Chain A
Amino acid sequence: MIIRLRRIVFWFLVAVYLIACPWLLLYARGIILQPARTMDPLVETGLIHVATQPAGARLFLENRRFAQKTPTAIRELLPGPYRLSIRLNGHRPWERTIQVQPSKTGMLDPILLLPRRIRIQPIGTTAWTRLFPLEKTGFLFLASGKTAQQCALYEVDRNRLYPVPVPWPKARLKTVHHEPGSRRLLLEGEAGGARKWLAVSLSEKPAARDLTPLIPEGTEEILWDPSAPEQLFAVEGTAVHRIDTEQGALFPRWLEGVRGLAAREGQLTVLKTSGRLEWEPLADRTDPTVLDDSGEALDWLEETFYRIHRMTETTTLFLGGRGQLLSSRLPHLLEENGVRGLRPEGRTKQAAVWTGKRLALLDLEPEPAAAGGFEKGATLDWVYSRGREIRQAVWVRRGAYLLILDRDTVRLLETATRKDPALNWSETGALEEILEVRPGSGIHWDERRGILYGLERKSGRLFRAALAPPRKEGL
């Protein structure tokens, strides 16, 4: 009896498998059966995946409410355009026409839903005039006047303000130099016609050290490796002086014939006037590695200093003094002049590049060409063209958005959906106005907490404003 039962069950399950498996595979690919379509009842559907921050938003597809809240996937959509609205109480609505394609997914992840009313929470009462974000340190540099004594450090995590001990309080504060991630910043001031340099450590009790005697007067650029802030490199013409701040020693003309320089992770990348590009460990310079000796760089090398930005294994960018931007990939010249800043985004392998009026995105690792086809070179994709005076751009939510400080207005630009034509990205549709800040000051974005820091436009008080929910660890 058991044997007979076994046979029945076995063949039943075989039949179930033979019937269910093909249907399951078709369903998995998004193919559904529509018997009404007599010509071709099997239809390839598409899917829209929506994940918002914050989660739990309601979805409306063609004005009909979808049962589930975000994050969710809307499945079994016949190919074609759909009007998608996302709404969450207390937040600005989001709307877009999405083109659903067969067997494809429209990825809307993440969609940042901004609060309808952005609440500004002042921090302290001091009227600041300048905010300088010290990237990847958790500190902000604040100045309340033109002199060096009117500055302080603000630690974001602890919400504390620390005065900066300046040995020459009457000196006029000119520039703040900082390397992202460095626990030291360099203040450049001027007193009695002479330049002053002060190194300040970023800590609960900031320590300041006067480096004026060490830094040559003719210094045009100064940079250092964030992981080794005790070694400074001062650029003067085509010479580079090395300053050892711990030993208090200056090594004049430590490097000669230099057109460009970068110091990062214990390594120096050097672009020589001969066009040769090489790198060497800071600790041992005896045997530099030559990255390029073809001389190709000479075609576009000008008599200016280039800051070198090693973006990825395959892409290096060179930003010259006039704002000319060059790439190690073809075509080399990306922008002739006017580039004011660039900001890489590691996860999505892209960089934001801006002039005063426009902002572009640059793919740092463009997709290879199909076999036999032409390789698409690195090009700037201008995504924001209505700028007045773009001063800063900060990546938000790991490359999905950009916060743009344009003169005194902070705007949020959605960038994640621009590459998928089905998602109908447009500059107008992707841009949101956030708030206004004090002219001439910067902003700071706390990615982990989703909080924007800036100076209030009128009062100059430091404020924080929550724009997004805290980011979950690992996401």
Chain B
Amino acid sequence: MNFRYSRTGLAGSEKRLQRGLEILPGLLSWSVLTGLLALTFIRPLWAALLVIAFLLYWLLRMLYLTLFLIIGYTALTAEQRTDWPAWIRTLEAAGTSGRLEPPPVGEALLERLAWKTHLQESKKALGSGGPIPSPDEIHHLVIFPIAREEKAVYEQGIESLLRQGTPLDRITVFLAVEALAPEPIQKQALEVCRKYRNRFRELRAVFHPAGLPGEARVKGANVTHAAKEAAAFLQEHGIPFDRVIVSCFDADTVVSPAYLACLTYHFMTCPRRNQASFQPIPVYHNNIWEVPGFARVLDVGASFFQLVEATNPEKLVTFSSHSMSFQALVEMDYWPVDMISDDSAIFWKALIHYDGDYRVVPMYVTVSMDVAASEDWRRTAINVYKQKRRWAWGVENFPLVARAFLRNRAIPRRLKIKHLFKLLEGHLAWATWPFILTFIGWLPAITAGRDFSDTVLYYSTPRISLVIYQLASLSLATSVVLSILLLPRPKLRFSVARRALHLIEWLSVPLISILLSALPALDAQTRLMLGRYMEFWVTEKKRRRER
């Protein structure tokens, strides 16, 4: 379906519909919060019953997410031992000989489970009938957007590409530099190009002019400009787009050594590879030990969220650094150039463009980025708040997706309902649940008048709530354990006391979930509701000097 994925340039009823749908998420969130608050005063009995029903729902949801967090983490651990190049060779050989001879497998249970999964995937790919591209045909285009970042930030990412098992002559790197970037930044980009150009097939800096018509000051405009330049480059060198996988990273993205091999494997086995995106697990390990505890907890939580999402590929949406078919990118006219949330918007754009026949393939391999840090904890808190608000601005996709779904008859209704519900419910929960759990849940007991305070319900509610919170603490305990396993070893040895403090950081979850998660989400939704569209704010990324 041809649908202009943008809120600008609309008129008449379409504009009104767009505006109405923009108001909806914020209106719902505020209605839930104020409605519950009012109910605690007007009808404390109903409020108490609603709170109990909500708490039970929340508990079951927490247990559900925890189970799949464990599964996701297990999968991530299992895949760390996967020999991706071996599987690539296996597929290549099977493509030629028609016989699948899988690589050897170790004794460990997880390794065997992963091996079995890949065996099934390979069999399915071979059985699909379509040709599997040879790894020699597959090219990687990597784009690093640069707005104000110094070379120390993105040079690590480039170095990480050098450590991939993939032949470097099949990797092309474009530095998408904003023309408005300060001159030293532009010079540094050119220096980096000179330093690493000969290592890759191509490494060049592309300067994105400011003020192009129809563009906002967003990352999507920058990387789109670079992608168009890359398209010209690929055409010039006779590289077909359907054999190119584009990876759009952040300036601070550092990929794990197995990233490109894992990506190649999944591209080869994906049944409709040119209608697919490939989503790794984002972690924030670049500077995780240099930041205050609250920032660390939040970003580990973000990684956990993606780990859980990865176990549900049917509803997976791209987030942050990810990869996709370059052909698909070109066919749908690249990333939106007037939206902040280009990382998720590209998925929705693709889903609509291909009438629902688009998928995101989870990859259990990590890409590491920076935690939004600054010189002191106050500025770090502000940076984190602004970053989370930018993430929550992904709610801007809802009205666009809803409008597109209303027009598109080809996408199955079930798929539309599934995606729309998840999109809306996800943002609603993000903005409201911490407030309900921390404040509103306790209000009926405090605001109760005499007619409520002498009921059985008045005494039962705190007791039931306590039991539910105690059960939910299992989920918190699991998160603490997994966070210890997931976090990289600190470069410096920490004392026992300091390490114990890291565990205690998780006790601050109720507070930081309000201040640095729910509040920015509510902020973003309210801005959208009021038509105060957000300007792009470049996340401050600083690296401490090595001690």
Q: Is B77 an interface residue (CB 8 A)?
A: no
Residue of B nearest to A73 (CB): B459
Question: B461 at interface (Cβ–Cβ under 8 A)?
Answer: yes
Whether B456 and A2, one on each chain, are in contact in the complex, defined by CB atoms closer than 8 angstroms, is no
A25 contacts partner chain B, Cβ-Cβ < 8 Å: yes
Q: Are B312 and A103 in contact (CB under 8 A)?
A: no
Indicate if the CB atoms of A28 and B56 lie closer than 8 Å: no
Q: When chains A and B are docked, how far (Å) is the Cα of A103 from the Cα of B460?
A: 11
Q: What separation, in Å, do the CA atoms of A45 and B460 have in the docked complex? A: 12
**CB < 8 Å A-B pair total:** 77
How far does the alpha carbon of A435 sit from the alpha carbon of B49 in the complex, in Å? 49
Which of A6, A17, A30 is the one whose CB lies under 8 Å from B460? Answer: A30
**Given the complex, which residues of B lie within 8 Å of A28, measured CB to CB?**
48-49, 52, 456-457, 460-461, 464
Check A24/B314 contact, CB under 8 A, given A17-B60, A105-B455, A420-B454.
no
Name the distance in Å between B344's Cβ and chain A's nearest Cβ: 21
User: Are A104 and B53 in touch, CB under 8 angstroms?
Assistant: no
Given A6-B311, A21-B53, decide whether A13 and B60 contact each other with a Cβ distance below 8 A. yes
Asked whether, in the complex, the Cβ of B64 is within 8 Å of the Cβ of A104, the reply is no
Name the one of B64, B454, B458 contacting A10, with C-beta atoms under 8 angstroms. B64
Q: Is B335 an interface residue (CB 8 A)?
A: no
Given contacts A9-B64, A24-B56, A25-B52, are A2 and B71 in contact (CB under 8 A)? yes
Contact with B along A217-239 (1 / 0, CB 8 A): 00000000000000000000000
B460 near A16 (CB under 8 angstroms)? no
Q: Chain B contacts of A104 at CB under 8 A?
A: 454-456
Inter-chain contact B457/A30, CB cutoff 8 Å:
yes
A-B contact pairs, 30 of them (CB 8 A): A2-B312, A3-B312, A3-B313, A9-B68, A10-B64, A13-B60, A13-B63, A17-B57, A24-B52, A25-B49, A27-B460, A27-B464, A28-B48, A28-B456, A28-B464, A29-B457, A30-B457, A30-B460, A46-B456, A47-B456, A75-B456, A103-B455, A103-B456, A103-B457, A104-B455, A105-B455, A105-B456, A105-B459, A107-B454, A420-B454
CB-based contact A20/B455 at 8 Å: no
Q: Establish whether residues A45 and B64, one from each chain, have CB atoms under 8 Å apart when the complex forms.
A: no
Interface string of B456-485 (1 = CB under 8 A from A): 111111001000000000000000000000
Q: Closest CB of chain A to B345's CB: distance in Å?
A: 25
Contact with B along A22-51 (1 / 0, CB 8 A): 001101111000000000000001110100
With A and B bound together, what is the CA distance between A73 and B459 in angstroms? 8
B:44-82 near A, CB below 8 Å? 48-49, 52-53, 56-57, 60-61, 63-64, 67-68, 71, 75
Flag B107-136 by CB within 8 Å of A: 1 or 0 each: 000000000010000000000000000000
Q: Which residues of A contact B457 (CB under 8 A)?
A: 28-30, 103
| Minimal beta-carbon separation of A94 from chain B (angstroms) | 20
Q: Which of B475-518 contact A (CB under 8 A)?
A: none
* Min CB gap A102→B, angstroms: 9
Given known A28-B460, A30-B457, A73-B459, contact A6–B56 (CB-CB < 8 A):
no
In the complex, the chain B residue whose C-beta lies closest to that of A102 is: B456
Nearest B residue (CB) for A47? B456
Q: In whole angstroms, how far apart are the Cα atoms of A27 and B48 in the complex?
A: 13
How far, in Å, is A249 (CB) from chain B's closest CB? 51
Which residues of the partner chain A approach B71 to less than 8 Å between Cβ atoms? Answer: 2, 5
Other-chain contact of A20, B56, B314, B459 (Cβ < 8 Å) = B56
In angstroms, Cα B455 to Cα A107, docked, is 10
Q: Which of A5, A17, A49 contacts B56 (CB 8 A)?
A: A17
Give Cα A21 to B58, complex, Å: 12
Q: Report B-chain residues with C-beta under 8 Å of the C-beta of A10.
A: 64
Whole-angstrom CA separation of A468 from B165 in the bound complex: 78
14 further interface pairs, Cβ-Cβ under 8 Å (given A2-B71, A6-B68, A105-B454): A2-B75, A6-B311, A13-B61, A27-B464, A28-B52, A28-B461, A29-B49, A30-B455, A46-B456, A47-B456, A49-B459, A75-B456, A75-B460, A367-B450
Known: A3-B312, A13-B60. A47 touches B53 (CB 8 A): no
Within the complex, the shortest CB–CB distance from B355 to chain A, in Å, comes to: 22
Bound together, the chains give a CA A21 to CA B63 distance in angstroms of 16
**Which residue of chain A has the shortest Cβ distance to B454 in the bound complex?**
A105
| A205 CA to B456 CA, complexed, in Å | 55
For B312, the closest partner residue in chain A by CB is: A6
Question: Which residue of chain A has its CB nearest to the CB of B52?
Answer: A28
How far apart sit A75 and B61, CA to CA, in the bound complex (Å)? 29
Give the docked Cα–Cα distance between A45 and B117 (Å). Answer: 55
Chain B residues contacting A13 (CB-CB under 8 Å) are 60-61, 63-64
Give me the 6 closest cross-chain CB pairs, A-B, nearest first: A30-B456, A28-B460, A47-B456, A13-B60, A105-B454, A2-B311
CB distance from B109 to the nearest CB of A (A): 15
Nearest residue in B to A25 (C-beta to C-beta)? B49
Complex Cα distance A422/B363, Å?
65
